[in-house]
């Protein structure tokens, strides 16, 4: 056993770091502190990566992947996290892309994979419904065959960033009489500009609009947009969820977050000393780092398993649970570190009495400005992507055999 990187991997890290240094769009800055990002911002780095051939590192080489080993991919994500780079959204790259190249037909691959690689096409995920959250298989949106079209009716919800999306991948019920709820569901690609698709924003507790309700009324979709076989969508959805989960651990980003936290706690003062030298606070930061180290090695072990040909299995639920708990603890500690300057509401504060006309101004140190909203926002991570309760249920059944 050996934890050290090989000389080749060290050289690879160097290459990656130099590339990021030279090419990461400077105007994006440290995106870990920003919430006012627009579609162009997300796409900016993706485009550069697409040109370099690095936008879909994990894909098979024949579809434009890099052929990097899991370790190289890991180094890649670490180096991006170092500058808090705004990474390509997962919906295209890590979710629908792998489904299309694994289960899609040649036309679908030709039509969709290039846009995902280049960042030109923005995807969203249409799984959840008001009545179908954790119990996803109970979804009700229907797709009824009518000649060479499906006619889709129903309501999806929590569709992340659908307001920017060109395409979505939707789970729809194509056989309402199937014996089990998991059967009779199909995986359909939907052009979001099709008539009958209506996207309504939902405001979240952090004040942002990242999710939407998506209403589908007599939406006509060509049957060519069915991926794989009709009524087999659940298989593809599960395949995709395992991919979604492994990305969710967010180790590299949390490591960067801990560094930032140390910086903040180095500036904040307690009794005339930096907060970071306070034993109570330092203990909490170290606890976080210890948990993060455990998660990191667990993820590397999972990666090594993948390298040896094992797909991400139920162990990825461990990564999801611990990864999100750490992210939440990290943002909570960051909020604690900034003290009372976590209290002001930043962002859209046009209605400020006595200051009409001016939109925003900084209150307190820069690093405090998003501490509260980020903490509020990160509560989502233990809810989405299969809630942490559901992950524990998976481990209960699949690993413990209970």
Partner 1 sequence: MDFNFTEEQDMVRDGLTRMVRENYDWDTRRGVVASEAGWRPEVWAQLAELGILGMPFSEDDGGFGGGAVDSMVVMEEFGKGLVVEPFVPTVVCAGGFLKHAGTAAQKEEHIGAIVDGSRVFAFAYAEPRGRYDYANLETTAKKSGGDYVLNGHKSVVIGAPWASHLIVTARTSGERTDKQGISVFVVDKSADGVVTRDYPTVDGRHASEVYFENVSVPAEALIGEEGNALPLIERVTDEAIAAQCAEACGAMKVAHTMTVEYSRQRKQFGVPIGKFQVLQHRMVDMYTEYEQSVSLTYLATLRLDADERTRKLAVSAAKVRLGQAAHHIGQEAIQIHGGMGMTDELAIGAYFKRLTIFDSEFGNVDHHMKRHIALS
Taking contact as CB under 8 A, which single stretch among the options 33-41, 95-103, 253-261, 370-378 is the one that binds partner 1? 370-378
Residue (211 or 371) nearer to ligand FAD, CB: 211
Residue 340, interface with partner 1 (CB under 8 A)?
yes
Instruction: Kindly tell me which residue out of 92, 133, 323, 342 binds ligand FAD, with binding defined by CB under 6 A.
Output: 133
Q: Within 13 Å of residue 96, how many CA atoms lie on the same side as its CB?
A: 31
Instruction: Kindly tell me which residue out of 300, 303, 383, 395 binds ligand FAD, with binding defined by CB under 6 A.
Output: 383
What's the CA gap between 365 and 248, in Å, rounded? Answer: 30
Instruction: Kindly tell me which residue out of 372, 374, 385, 386 binds partner 1, with binding defined by CB under 8 A.
Output: 372
What's the CA gap between 148 and 224, in Å, rounded? Answer: 8
Q: 154: which 2 tokens?
A: 């129903």
Question: Is there a catalytic annotation at residue 244?
Answer: yes
What's the CA gap between 90 and 95, in Å, rounded? Answer: 6
Q: Which of residues 160-199 bind ligand FAD (CB under 6 A)?
A: 160
CA-CA-CA-CA dihedral for 112, 41, 327, 33, to nearest 10: 180
**Buried b / exposed e along 310-347 (16+ C-beta atoms within 10 A):** eebebbbbbbbbbbbebbbbbbbbbbbbbbebbeeebe
Q: Which of 79, 129, 244, 299 is catalytic?
A: 244
What's the CA gap between 86 and 89, in Å, rounded? Answer: 9
Residues with Cβ < 8 Å from 285, sequence gap 6 or more?
A: 258, 261, 262, 265, 276, 333
Taking contact as CB under 6 A, which single stretch among the options 8-16, 60-68, 157-165, 254-262 is the one that binds ligand FAD? 157-165
Q: Within 13 Å of residue 231, how many CA atoms lie on the same side as its CB?
A: 10
Residue (78 or 206) nearer to ligand FAD, CB: 206
Residue 19, interface with ligand FAD (CB under 6 A)?
no
CA angle 212, 207, 358 (to 5 degrees): 125
138 binds, among ligand FAD, partner 1, none (CB under 5 to 8 A by kind): partner 1
Indicate the residue whose CB is closest to ligand FAD: 133
125 binds, among partner 1, ligand FAD, none (CB under 5 to 8 A by kind): ligand FAD
CA distances from 18 to 51, 66, 75, 132 (A): 16, 18, 13, 46
Q: Which of residues 202-231 bind ligand FAD (CB under 6 A)?
A: 211
Q: 300: which 2 tokens?
A: 């590397």
Instruction: Kindly tell me which residue out of 121, 128, 141, 324 binds ligand FAD, with binding defined by CB under 6 A.
Output: 128
Instruction: Kindly tell me which residue out of 200, 203, 301, 397 binds partner 1, with binding defined by CB under 8 A.
Output: 203
Q: Output the smallest distance, CB 129 to ligand FAD, in A.
A: 8
Asked if residues 76 and 216 have their Cβ atoms less than 8 Å apart, the reply is no
Q: What is the pattern of x (binds partner 1, CB under 8 A) and - over residues 88-127?
A: ----------------------------------------
Handedness of CA 271, 272, 278, 284 (dihedral sign): positive
Instruction: Kindly tell me which residue out of 76, 380, 391, 394 binds partner 1, with binding defined by CB under 8 A.
Output: 380
Residue (155 or 235) nearer to ligand FAD, CB: 155
Residue 182, interface with partner 1 (CB under 8 A)?
no
Q: What is the pattern of x (binds partner 1, CB under 8 A) and - over residues 135-174?
A: x--x------------------xx----------------
Q: 371: which 2 tokens?
A: 């501490």
63 binds, among ligand FAD, partner 1, none (CB under 5 to 8 A by kind): none
Q: Phi/psi at 85 (nearest 5 deg)? A: -65, 145
Asked if residues 99 and 244 have their Cβ atoms less than 8 Å apart, the reply is no
Say which DSSP state 40 is in: H
H or E element at residue 396: helix 388-398
Q: Which residues here bind partner 1, judged by CB under 8 A?
A: 128, 131, 133-135, 138, 157-158, 202-205, 207, 211, 268-272, 275, 278, 280-281, 328, 332, 335-336, 339-345, 349, 351-355, 361, 363-364, 372-373, 375-376, 379-380, 382-384, 387-389, 392
- What is the binding site for ligand FAD (CB under 6 A)? 125-128, 133-134, 158-160, 211, 380, 383-384, 387, 389-390, 393
Q: Which residues are catalytic?
A: 244
């Amino acid at each position: 056993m050996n934890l050290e990187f090989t000389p080749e991997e060290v050289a690879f890290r160097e290459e990656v770091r130099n590339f990021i240094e030279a090419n990461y769009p400077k105007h994006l800055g440290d995106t870990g502190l920003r919430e006012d990002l627009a579609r162009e911002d997300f796409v900016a780095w993706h485009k550069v990566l697409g040109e370099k051939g690095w936008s879909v590192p994990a894909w098979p080489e024949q579809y434009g992947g890099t052929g990097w080993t899991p370790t190289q991919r890991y180094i890649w994500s670490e180096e991006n996290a170092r500058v808090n780079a705004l990474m390509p959204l997962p919906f295209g790259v890590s979710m629908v892309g792998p489904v299309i190249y694994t289960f899609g037909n040649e036309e679908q691959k030709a039509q969709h994979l290039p846009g995902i690689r280049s960042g030109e096409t923005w995807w969203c995920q249409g799984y959840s419904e008001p009545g179908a959250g954790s119990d996803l298989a109970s979804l009700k949106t229907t797709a009824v065959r009518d000649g060479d079209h499906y006619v889709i009716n129903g309501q999806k919800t929590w569709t992340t960033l659908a307001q920017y999306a060109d395409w979505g991948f939707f789970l729809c019920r194509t056989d309402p009489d199937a014996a089990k709820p998991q059967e009779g569901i199909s995986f359909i690609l939907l052009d979001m500009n099709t008539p009958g698709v209506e996207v309504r924003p939902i405001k979240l507790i952090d004040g942002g609009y990242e999710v939407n309700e998506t209403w589908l009324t007599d939406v006509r979709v060509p049957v060519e947009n069915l991926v794989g076989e009709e009524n087999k969508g659940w298989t593809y959805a599960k395949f995709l969820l395992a991919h979604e989960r492994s990305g969710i651990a967010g180790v590299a980003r949390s490591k960067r977050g801990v560094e930032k936290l140390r910086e903040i706690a180095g500036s904040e003062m307690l009794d005339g000393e930096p907060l970071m030298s306070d034993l109570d606070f330092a203990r909490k930061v170290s606890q976080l780092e210890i948990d993060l180290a455990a998660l990191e090695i667990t993820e590397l072990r999972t990666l090594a398993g993948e390298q040896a040909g094992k797909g991400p299995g139920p162990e990825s639920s461990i990564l999801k649970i611990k990864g999100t708990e750490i992210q939440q603890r990290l943002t909570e500690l960051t909020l604690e570190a900034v003290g009372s300057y976590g209290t002001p509401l930043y962002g859209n504060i046009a209605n400020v009495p006595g200051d009409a006309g001016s939109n925003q101004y900084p209150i307190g140190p820069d690093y405090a400005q998003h501490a509260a909203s980020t903490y509020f926002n990160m509560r989502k991570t233990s809810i989405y992507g299969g809630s942490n309760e559901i992950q524990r249920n998976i481990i209960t059944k699949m690993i413990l055999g209970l």
